[in-house]
Amino acid sequence: MRIGEFAVRAGVSPRALRYYEQQGLLAARREANGYRAYEESDLRLVAEIRDLLAAGFTLEDTRPFVACLRAGHDSGAVCPDSVTVARRRLAEIDGEIRTLLTRRAEISAQLARACGGCAPGPAGRRPFDEGITR
């Protein structure tokens, strides 16, 4: 199937697909006239890429996952390289969360200091101030 239809079915733009190809993921076969031809199985690869991007991985990071699927595994995460990347990302996320919690506390304190009672907010009251492990 050609890029237009494939893009719709994969839920991405043709531009994104060409970009993935340019980055060395998702190589499409070519028709005689030069048009890209995608296989059904490529849908799975794109889905993996999208999932990972949505999870905050870079496109670069998706490489081992895609390769893992291409190698015939049911999950893109079962290969050693994928695991390495996933663990690194997990550590990054933990760092980001810690940073955000610190910032949240600082801003919250600022608000409390600045105008006392008007601080917390309307709907969600103190979502993370308590109950944090460490």
Positions in the binding site for DNA (CB under 7 A): 2-5, 12-16, 18-19, 32-36, 53, 58-60
Closer residue to DNA (CB): 96 or 129: 96
User: How far apart are CB 88 and its own copies at their closest, in Å?
Assistant: 10
Residues that bind its own copies (CB under 8 A): 55-56, 75, 77-78, 82-83, 86-87, 89-91, 93-94, 96-98, 100-101, 103-104, 106-108, 110-111, 113-115, 118, 121, 124, 126-128, 130-134
CA distance 89 to 19: 23
Assess contact for 45 and 69: CB atoms under 8 A.
yes
* 53 token code pair: 């991007």
Instruction: Decide which of DNA, its own copies, none touches 75; Cβ closer than 5 to 8 Å per partner kind.
Output: its own copies
CA distance 34 to 3: 12
CA distance 93 to 95: 5
Instruction: Decide which of DNA, its own copies, none touches 60; Cβ closer than 5 to 8 Å per partner kind.
Output: DNA
Residue 37 β-bridge partners: 29
